[in-house]
Structure 1
Amino acid sequence: MQPGQSLELDSDAAQRAFGASLLPSLPVGTVLFLEGELGAGKTTLTQGLIAALGFGGLVSSPTYALMQLYPTPQGQVLHVDAYRVRRPQELYEMDLERLTDEARLSVIEWGEAFYDDFPDAWVLKLEHLGSGLGRRVTRQR
């Protein structure tokens, strides 16, 4: 998926499949920011990515934990939810830089405050298209 390109997805299953299909485009060490309103499917897309790396367990939103690490046969995945972070420094105090450096893939939801710290990161925006109409995913960068 190139910057500016969009794709419409009609179900959660399609969103997970899109996440899985995106994986070959993401080099080792990629930081992927997911933005979009509550319920737009950020964690659903992440589930597809992590499953494609061979993780067979439950992948849930890290809203209350802030960070979760998933071991996969292809390397560790860092999943961050910065929605409740009051100051960006909070995640750096939790060793965000080291964890992203060591991860096969880092997925950060609600991470707009960190864009400048990861200039090579991908940014995907997820939008609801309306009741029963699915979602749109657009690559911002």
Structure 2
Amino acid sequence: MHRGEIRLLPDEHAQEACGRALASALPHGTVVFLEGELGSGKTTLTQGLVRALGFGGEVSSPTYALMQLYPTYEGPVLHVDAYRIRHAAELYAMDLERLIDESRLCVIEWGQLFYEDFPEAWLLRLEYLDGGRAGRQITRLR
């Protein structure tokens, strides 16, 4: 997926398939920021990414745990939900940098506090189409 590219995602299956397709395009150690409204499909896209890399278990939103590590055959995938984080230092105190360095991929939802710290990261926005809850689009902003 190139910068500025937009893909239409008519349902959850398409969102997960998009994640699966993206997984092979992301180099080892990539940080991906996902932004979008609640329920826009950030975790569904992450499910596709993680499953494409070989994790067969449940992938859920880490809203309350803040971080989940999923073992894959290519290395762990770190999934972070920073929705409840008010200061970046809170996650850095949880050894975020080391976990990212050791991960095949890091996906951060609600990561606006960290954009400047990872200038090479991908930034993907998920949005509802026409105000509806079914169709969505994904745009690569950087």
After TM superposition, is the score higher than 0.5?
yes
Shift of 1:133: 4.6
Match of 2:89 in 1: 89
Amino acid at match of 2:140: R
Match of 2:14 in 1: 14
Using the size of structure 1 for normalisation, the TM-score is 0.98
Shift of 1:25: 1.1
Per-residue deviation, residues 18-53 of structure 1 (Å, max 9, x unmatched): 000011110000000000010000000000000000
Per-residue deviation, residues 73-102 of structure 1 (Å, max 9, x unmatched): 111000000000121110000011111111
Amino acid at match of 2:141: Q
Shift of 1:132: 5.3
Q: Which runs of 4+ in 1 moved over 4 A?
A: none
- Which structure 1 residue ranges, 5 or more long, are not aligned? none
Shift of 1:131: 2.4
Structure 1 counterpart SS, 2:123: strand
Percent identity over paired residues:
67
Amino acid at match of 1:88: A
Amino acid at match of 1:121: A
C-alpha root-mean-square deviation of aligned residues, in Å?
0.8
Match of 1:110 in 2: 110
- Which structure 2 residue ranges, 5 or more long, are not aligned? none
